[in-house]
């Protein structure tokens, strides 16, 4: 659908999302650096938020993707699901939230409110209260790296690294 819309309006991917072959490595490096920079704040917010939820008596549930990934004992299926969560999901979600929704919202309400609203929407679609604050924070990071780099590839890379680290830790802790 996205490809059709871009083609119909004669818009190239690089013009719509700031992705060029010549600077792809630099854009991916920017996403990786942004993840590394955001990691300490993300860990702090996640720990503080979990402590607050525990204090309030909330028992967090494991997200669907984590259950799906950990229930399969076949390493090939786990690997395939891991690859989908690390490669496909970030592409889809970043095109939708940062590539389409963020610019539309920014035109309507300004950049600051658009970053916050699209980040809350991103966190909300994951349907888990225990992940709401950390996902909102990392989504703000995805949005900021997209805005400041001008490249969706930087946000996709940051998202992919986030998913890879999170799911790898989950698998290691579960096994």
The confidence score (pLDDT) of residue 76 equals: 87
- Classify residue 86 by its DSSP letter: I
Q: Mean per-residue pLDDT for 1-7?
A: 73
The residues, ordered by sequence, that sit 6+ positions from 111 with a Cβ below 8 Å of its Cβ are 147
| pLDDT over 90 (residue 169) | no
Structure pTM?
Answer: 0.87
Q: Each residue of 92-145: pLDDT tens digit?
A: 999 999 999 999 999 999 999 999 999 999 999 988 888 899 999 999 999 999
The confidence score (pLDDT) of residue 175 equals: 59
The confidence score (pLDDT) of residue 30 equals: 95
Q: Each residue of 42-79: pLDDT tens digit?
A: 999 999 999 999 999 988 776 676 777 777 778 888 88
Give the integer Cα–Cα distance in Å for 73 and 159: 26
Cα 133 off chain centre by: 13
Cα angle: 2, vertex 140, 9; to 5 degrees: 20
| pLDDT over 70 (residue 31) | yes
CA quadruple 148, 151, 152, 155: dihedral positive or negative? Answer: negative
Q: Mean per-residue pLDDT for 23-43?
A: 94
The confidence score (pLDDT) of residue 23 equals: 85
The confidence score (pLDDT) of residue 155 equals: 97
């Amino acid at each position: 659908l996205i490809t059709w819309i871009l083609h119909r309006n004669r818009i190239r991917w690089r013009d719509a999302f700031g992705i060029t072959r010549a600077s792809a490595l630099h854009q991916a490096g920017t996403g990786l650096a942004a993840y590394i920079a955001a990691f300490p704040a993300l860990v702090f917010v996640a720990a503080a938020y979990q402590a607050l939820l525990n204090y309030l008596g909330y028992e967090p549930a494991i997200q669907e993707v984590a259950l799906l990934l950990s229930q399969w004992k076949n390493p090939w299926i786990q690997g395939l699901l891991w690859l989908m969560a690390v490669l496909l999901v970030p592409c889809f979600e970043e095109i939708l939230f940062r590539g389409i929704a963020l610019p539309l919202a920014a035109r309507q309400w300004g950049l600051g409110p658009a970053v916050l609203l699209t980040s809350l929407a991103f966190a909300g679609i994951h349907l888990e209260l225990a992940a709401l604050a950390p996902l909102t924070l990392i989504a703000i990071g995805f949005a900021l790296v997209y805005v400041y780099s001008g490249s969706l590839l930087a946000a996709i890379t940051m998202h992919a690294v986030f998913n890879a680290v999170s799911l790898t830790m989950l698998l290691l802790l579960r096994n």
